[in-house]
Amino acid sequence: MQGFTQYMPTKIVFGEEAEKETGKLVKECGASKVLLVYGGKSAVKSGLLDRIKRELEKVNVVFEELGGVQPNPRLDLAREGVRKAIDMDADLMLAVGGGSVIDTAKAIAVGAANEGIDIWDVWMGKAFVSKAKPVGAVLTISAAGSEMSDSAVITNKETGKKAGFNSDMVRPRFAVMNPKLTYTLPKYQLACGIVDILMHTLERYFTPVSGNQLTDEIAEGLMRTLIENGKTAYENQEDYEAMSEIMWCSSLSHNNLTGLGRPKDFACHKLGHEIGGMFDEAHGATLSAVWGSWARYVYKLDAARFARYGRKVWKIKDKGEEETAVLAIEATEEFFRFLHMPTCIGEMNIGIQPDEILMQMAESATKGDTVKLGCFKKLDQQDMYEIYKAANHR
């Protein structure tokens, strides 16, 4: 086991009507001026936003609003939020929504604490910051895990670049998680979320470091739980137990618990972010579309690991390393198909892409072939291109 530092500062309030605790949680952070950040319409339509406002009013917290966050959240809106947060002297950003909303709130929290620094410079590694305002989250979709993660992913529409910033500074102080709030999700978003949750653990499971018994068992347990309940929830979205399990999986899959003691890979996320940034496809779909091609490209480096994944997670009977490994990859893709998620680029909304686009994405991901991605196999520009190419069919 490699040495590690684990930091989980997020207070979780989980359960039916958990949102009633929001005002109290804001107060516990010592905040009194909140910027309320939300998305397109779901939180307004469901009445959740009004309920949250009432909870803030009850504890005499003043607030201003920033709505309109879109999936693959935009830099422009985050910049607008920074200006608003500075003008009102906000002392906490409260996200009501999913990963896109929470990430926007995190970006605002960074910008508002570092007046004069453009957030995109921070995201591009050109400016360095050491503080951020506090963030709290009322979660409405089980997916990105941003409610406990150290990460915030923003898209710059001018350049088509989607990029993440990682720092413990942006981990939310609290997350309110009521599984019932996810009942209204469009089926496609539910499926995208399940894929993303699975991927957050898979990207930590396939690494070159072995000998992490507890972390492996946690990771495998989480994946089994997610798959079983993902199937149930996909058939009946109002199954409270299934939606609860998925929601808790979403947080634990991306707060690093399933990767302790080993490095992260996250090459598939890099492959996916290029597609998301360029074409605005939903994050989960970009991952299911490339994972199988990535897995087939790399599995021979450690077929035993893929075979273990097959036995432990998919309960495949051992048929020797090679065959079990391939069956495990196929079982994963079958699950994606069950969720009606794409397993190749041609099945996404964008359809099959010309070679130049694939190379452009490979180049952008590897910053002009200057950085290698992932660690199970370190991928250069040509490797990335080969994976895109293998996925570029219908």
34, containing H or E segment: strand 33-38
Specify the stretch interacting with ligand NZQ by CB under 6 A; choose among 5-13, 37-45, 122-130, 378-386.
Answer: 37-45
Where does this chain touch Zn ion (CB under 5 A) — which range of 21-29, 196-204, 219-227, 274-282?
Answer: 196-204
The answer to whether 140 contacts ligand NZQ (rule: CB under 6 A) is yes
Q: Residues 53, 173, 269, 270: which binds ligand NZQ (CB under 6 A)?
A: 269
Backbone angles phi, psi at 159, to 5 degrees: -105, -10
One residue of 10, 22, 182, 381 binding ligand NZQ per CB under 6 A: 182
Quote the least distance from Cβ 185 to ligand NZQ, whole Å: 5
Report yes or no: 256 and 215 within 8 Å, Cβ to Cβ: no
Considering CB distances under 5 to 8 angstroms, the limit depending on partner class, which of ligand NZQ, Zn ion, none binds residue 277?
A: none
User: To the nearest whole angstrom, how small is the minimum distance from the Cβ of residue 265 to Zn ion?
Assistant: 12
- Site track 101-120 with ligand NZQ (rule: CB under 6 A), x = hit: x-x-----------------
CA angle 100, 148, 135 (to 5 degrees): 65
Alpha carbon of residue 344 to chain centroid: 20
Nearer to ligand NZQ, 102 or 379 (CB): 102
Task: Give the interface size with ligand NZQ as a residue count (CB under 6 A).
Answer: 36
370: how many CB neighbours lie within 10 A of its CB? 9
Contacts of 274 (CB under 8 A, 6+ apart): 162, 361, 362, 364, 365
d(CA 103, CA 50): 21
Give the residue, chosen from 147, 150, 196, 274, that forms a contact with Zn ion under the rule CB under 5 A: 196
Four-CA torsion 195, 365, 348, 231, nearest 10 degrees: -10
Beta bridge partners of 36: 65, 94
CA of 363: how far to CAs of 53, 155, 347, 381, in Å? 45, 17, 23, 6
Give least dist CB 164 to ligand NZQ, A.
7
- What is the C-alpha separation between 77 and 108, in angstroms, rounded? 9
Q: How far is the CB of 303 from ligand NZQ (least distance, A)?
A: 27
Residue of 22, 114, 149, 364 interacting with ligand NZQ (CB under 6 A): 149
181 binds ligand NZQ (CB under 6 A): yes
By CB under 6 A, name the binding residues for ligand NZQ: 39-43, 71-73, 97-101, 103, 140-141, 143-146, 149, 151-153, 181-182, 184-185, 189, 192-193, 196, 254, 269, 276, 283
